[in-house]
């Protein structure tokens, strides 16, 4: 089906849902998908002389540039660090490319660069190369950032979506959707969102903690655009199993829930920027959960679902005992949240 | 969130499910399958989102009636809005209306070829649009049930107070009680009880249903939108069916008063008068709509531009009419999920975020 209505790019093509997937499959994978891009992992594992590297990239266009709990700089470091980490790498080096709009206050840029420096230090990555461009007023919105990251593979850890099997369990490292809701609240001036902060954070320590049981870690992904729903649907796509998620087990912050209820948004569709979804063998769930709960970023970790059930379908067992499908968002839910 | 969680409590849900199961067993013993209809888009979505159908016994069926204002909007109305856009006027509308097909085309199509269509988050946005563009007519698509009618009427009032001459309203307001009446007297429709809407009832008050219930002896429960509200509503309807004493029960008394919202009702009465209304897939129901009173006719876009709302021919394959009457469940439509999906809807029930086809597509495809 041709979903590119009128053959133009829609905002929805950037939403991380079905339209994004169609665009990438039809236009990117068809041209570049034979090599390491195959299967669209968060990061590529590339063979080099003497070993392997993990390589990933991400661009950041969030509005506003600064939001409760973070800014575009922190996000630009965490986004790429996390993509490298969930691909089984220890992040080491980052590239940093800035596209700056004429007129951006220098003080604001300094603040964001300081934030990048601080986040890089926390993640143990070095900004190794970069680029700066300035475009005329109106040709971008303040500041866009691209980062690419290189990491070294963690021994024995080779997460791969193909390893997932019936019986495995799905673990979430913490409350889902805080980032998307915090940015949305900041942008729309939703006063009742008081106390809600973006969850932007690195997940590499969580990955290392889980790597103790590397053999049993099947798959990891940070649920960014499209939220947990997009990740869960990716897990079951084209497979002969499904996933059943327990609504009562889903970790959410009360503030994000309050906003989502008012706006009628399903938090399963909302982005996090410092969370991890991990699929592992069931007998290992307890160990990984305990290891995560010992870390501040994993204190609210929870087992949220099981790989089972209907072929290719993600189902939610609701609090009242009903069942319904968890679909991927179609187009754009919240534009420019990362 | 404590307030919300109380209405989603798993233990209370288990209790209600047991009660409903016991009542349904007694009905099953009498070989009765009961068909309960909700007539509110938010109930439709809540039932799908919480998986309520799946927890009900087999002989208790839930049907989605004409509860979504976009879904019941006639094709001729969409055609008229497109024609007005093509004449160079600005159409101001809620976003859901953009993708509803009229006799083929949608407002989104009209916009893609240069028609001016402005999506409003609040109907008051239409006033701003009119004030910013004094040389251009802004026509607000005034659709909706009793919940939406008061805020739109407030815009008419504001436009009148400001003396604006470049704003008008293409009205297709719909009223719920006459629709219940029409469904009950339609020999094709088989409904044993109604889950009456929550927000509409907050405006019109629970007393508004009493004449209907007394005349037709159909069980009615006004229910809230939380899962326990809906389960309570279903339990109440089953009890009435077993006792054989139909009545109106207001389960949502924390919000719905007997007399309704007096200020909203007074606002409506001051500006609007009863009119026949055409419901997509159902036809014309006498006195089931409201139009602007004669002294406000200059704000009536149909009067102002000589628009005749008739003759729309929606896609003949579309079975939204049967879905709205509860004769067909969305997945039973041959187009469902194939030719008709949320990216490319054929009928209005798949367009609207509150449409029953959209609810099935999103939550139980």
What was the pLDDT predicted at A1? 39
What was the pLDDT predicted at B1? 62
What was the pLDDT predicted at B361? 92
What was the pLDDT predicted at A332? 59
Structure-token pair, residue B82: 């497109």
The pLDDT tens digits of the residues spanning A30-43 come to 999 888 888 888 88
The pLDDT tens digits of the residues spanning B135-159 come to 999 999 999 999 999 999 999 999 9
Structure-token pair, residue B103: 């006799």
What was the pLDDT predicted at A264? 81
What was the pLDDT predicted at B34? 96
- Residue A3: pLDDT band (50, 70, 90) is very low
Rounded to the nearest integer, the mean pLDDT of chain A is: 92
What was the pLDDT predicted at B272? 98
What was the pLDDT predicted at B2? 67
Evaluate whether A317 touches A244 at the Cβ level (below 8 Å): yes
What was the pLDDT predicted at B6? 82
Chain A positions touching B54 (Cβ under 8 A) are 322-324
Q: Is the pLDDT of residue A19 over 90?
A: no
Q: How far apart are CA A37 and CA A14, in angstroms?
A: 19
Contact at CB, A325 and B231, closer than 8 angstroms: no
C-alpha closest to that of B20 among B61, B51, B64, B48: B61
Q: Residue A132: which H helix or E strand, with range?
A: strand A126-135
- Looking at residues A315-323, what average pLDDT do you find? 94
The pLDDT tens digits of the residues spanning A85-141 come to 999 999 999 999 999 999 999 999 999 999 999 999 999 999 999 999 999 999 999
Q: Is the pLDDT of residue B305 over 90?
A: yes
* B254: CB partners within 8 A, 6+ apart: B224
Please state, in angstroms and as integers, the Cα–Cα distance from residue B299 to each residue in B126, B290, B291, following that order. 13, 14, 11
The pLDDT tens digits of the residues spanning B23-55 come to 999 999 999 999 999 999 999 999 999 999 999
What was the pLDDT predicted at A181? 93
Q: Apex CA B355: angle with CA B352 and CA B356, to 5°?
A: 155
In the sheet that holds A314-317, the strands lie side by side as A217-221, A277-280, A169-172, A302-308, A242-246, A314-317, A323-325
Q: Is the pLDDT of residue A4 over 60?
A: no
Q: How far apart are CA A208 and CA A128, in angstroms?
A: 23
Contact at CB, B48 and A324, closer than 8 angstroms: yes
Q: Residue A242: which H helix or E strand, with range?
A: strand A242-246
Q: How far apart are CA B26 and CA B235, in angstroms?
A: 13
What was the pLDDT predicted at B357? 94
> Would an 8 Å CB–CB cutoff place B342 in contact with chain A?
yes
Minimum-distance CB partner of A321 among B1, B14, B48? B14
- Looking at residues B307-326, what average pLDDT do you find? 87
Give me the residue label for tokens 């628009």.
B307
Q: Return the residue in B18, B41, B51 with the most chain A beta carbons within 10 A, the one to mutate for interface testing.
A: B51
- Looking at residues A310-328, what average pLDDT do you find? 92
> Would an 8 Å CB–CB cutoff place A324 in contact with chain B?
yes
Structure-token pair, residue B19: 């009660």
β-strand A89-101 against A143-153: which pairing, if any? antiparallel
Chain B positions touching A316 (Cβ under 8 A) are 51
The pLDDT tens digits of the residues spanning B237-249 come to 999 999 999 999 9
The pLDDT tens digits of the residues spanning B78-113 come to 999 999 999 999 999 998 898 888 998 899 889 988
| Residues in chain A, total | 338
- Looking at residues B4-15, what average pLDDT do you find? 89
Q: Is B357 helix (H, G, I), strand (E, B) or coil?
A: helix
A-contacting residues of B 308-327, CB under 8 Å?
none
* B5: CB partners within 8 A, 6+ apart: none
Evaluate whether B344 touches B351 at the Cβ level (below 8 Å): no
Evaluate whether A185 touches A196 at the Cβ level (below 8 Å): yes
Q: Which contacts (CB < 8 Å, 24+ apart) does range A30-37 have? A: none
Q: How far is A325 from chain B (nearest CA, A)?
A: 5
- Looking at residues B249-268, what average pLDDT do you find? 96
- Which backbone phi and psi does B222 adopt, to 5 degrees? -85, 120
What was the pLDDT predicted at B343? 82
Q: Is the pLDDT of residue A315 over 60?
A: yes
Chain A positions touching B53 (Cβ under 8 A) are 322
Give buried/exposed letters for B247-258 (b at 16+ CB in 10 A, else e).
bbbbbbeeebee
ipTM above 0.85, yes or no: no
Which residues, in sequence order, are bridge partners of residue A324?
Answer: A316
A 10 A CB-CB count for A8 gives 8
Rounded to the nearest integer, the mean pLDDT of chain B is: 93
What is the DSSP code (8-state) at residue B113?
T
Minimum-distance CB partner of B10 among A248, A254, A264? A248
């Amino acid at each position: 089906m041709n979903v590119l209505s009128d053959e133009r790019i829609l905002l929805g093509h950037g939403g991380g849902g079905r339209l994004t997937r169609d665009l990438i499959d039809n236009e990117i994978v068809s041209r570049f998908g034979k090599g390491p891009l195959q299967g669209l992992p968060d990061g590529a594992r590339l063979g080099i002389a003497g070993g392997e590297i993990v390589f990933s990239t991400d661009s950041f266009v969030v509005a506003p540039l600064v939001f409760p709990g973070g800014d575009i700089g922190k996000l630009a470091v965490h986004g790429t660090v996390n993509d490298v980490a969930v691909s089984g790498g220890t992040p080491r080096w980052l590239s940093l490319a800035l596209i700056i709009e004429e007129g951006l206050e220098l003080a604001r840029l300094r603040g964001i660069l300081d934030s990048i420096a601080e986040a890089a230090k926390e993640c143990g990555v070095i900004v190794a190369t970069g680029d700066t461009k300035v475009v005329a007023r109106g040709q971008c919105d303040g500041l866009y950032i691209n980062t690419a990251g290189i990491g070294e593979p963690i021994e024995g850890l080779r997460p791969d979506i193909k390893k997932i099997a019936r019986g495995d369990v799905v673990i979430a490292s913490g409350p889902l959707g805080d980032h998307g809701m915090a940015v949305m609240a900041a942008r729309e001036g939703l006063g009742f969102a008081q106390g809600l902060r973006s969850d932007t954070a690195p997940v590499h320590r969580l990955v290392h903690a889980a790597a103790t049981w590397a053999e049993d870690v099947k798959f990891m992904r940070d649920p960014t655009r499209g939220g947990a729903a997009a990740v869960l649907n990716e897990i079951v796509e084209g497979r002969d199993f499904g996933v059943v998620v327990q609504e009562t087990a889903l970790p959410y912050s009360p503030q994000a829930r309050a906003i989502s209820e008012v706006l009628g948004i399903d938090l399963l569709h909302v982005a996090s920027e410092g969370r991890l979804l991990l699929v592992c063998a069931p007998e290992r769930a307890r160990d990984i959960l305990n290891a995560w709960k010992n870390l501040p970023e994993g204190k609210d970790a929870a087992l949220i679902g099981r790989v089972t059930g209907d072929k290719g379908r993600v189902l939610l067992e609701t609090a009242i005992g009903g069942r319904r499908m968890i679909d991927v968002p179609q187009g754009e839910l919240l534009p420019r949240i990362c | 969130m404590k307030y919300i969680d109380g209405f989603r409590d798993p233990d209370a849900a288990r209790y209600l499910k047991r009660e409903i199961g016991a009542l349904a067993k007694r009905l099953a013993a009498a070989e009765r399958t009961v068909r309960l209809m909700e007539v509110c888009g938010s109930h439709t979505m809540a039932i799908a989102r919480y998986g309520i159908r799946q927890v009900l016994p087999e002989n208790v069926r839930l049907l989605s009636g004409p509860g979504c204002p976009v879904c019941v909007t006639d094709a001729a109305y969409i055609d008229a809005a497109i024609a007005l856009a093509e004449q160079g006027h600005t159409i101001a509308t809620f976003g859901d209306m953009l993708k509803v097909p009229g006799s083929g085309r949608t407002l989104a199509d009209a916009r893609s070829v240069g028609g001016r269509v402005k999506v409003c988050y609040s109907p008051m946005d239409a006033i701003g649009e009119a004030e910013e563009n004094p040389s251009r007519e802004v026509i607000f698509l005034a659709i909706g049930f009793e919940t939406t009618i008061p805020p739109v009427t407030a815009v008419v009032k504001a436009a009148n107070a400001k003396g604006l001459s470049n704003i008008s309203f293409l009205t297709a307001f719909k009223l719920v009680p006459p629709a219940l009446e029409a469904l009950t007297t339609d020999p094709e429709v088989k409904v044993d009880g109604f889950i009456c809407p929550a927000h509409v009832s907050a405006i019109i008050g629970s007393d508004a249903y009493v004449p209907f219930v007394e005349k037709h002896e159909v069980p009615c429960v006004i229910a809230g939108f939380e899962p326990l509200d809906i389960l309570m509503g279903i339990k109440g309807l089953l009890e009435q069916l077993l006792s054989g004493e139909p009545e109106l029960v207001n389960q949502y008394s924390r919000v719905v008063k007997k007399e309704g919202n007096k200020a909203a009702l007074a606002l409506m009465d001051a500006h609007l008068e009863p009119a026949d209304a055409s419901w997509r897939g159902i036809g014309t129901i006498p006195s089931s709509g409201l139009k602007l009173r004669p002294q406000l006719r200059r704000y009536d876009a149909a009067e102002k531009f000589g628009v005749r709302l008739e003759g729309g021919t929606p896609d003949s394959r579309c079975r939204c009419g049967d879905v709205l009457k509860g004769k067909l469940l969305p997945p039973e439509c041959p187009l469902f999920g194939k030719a008709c999906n949320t990216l490319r809807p054929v009928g209005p029930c798949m367009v609207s975020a509150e449409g029953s086809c959209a609810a099935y597509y999103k939550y139980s495809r």
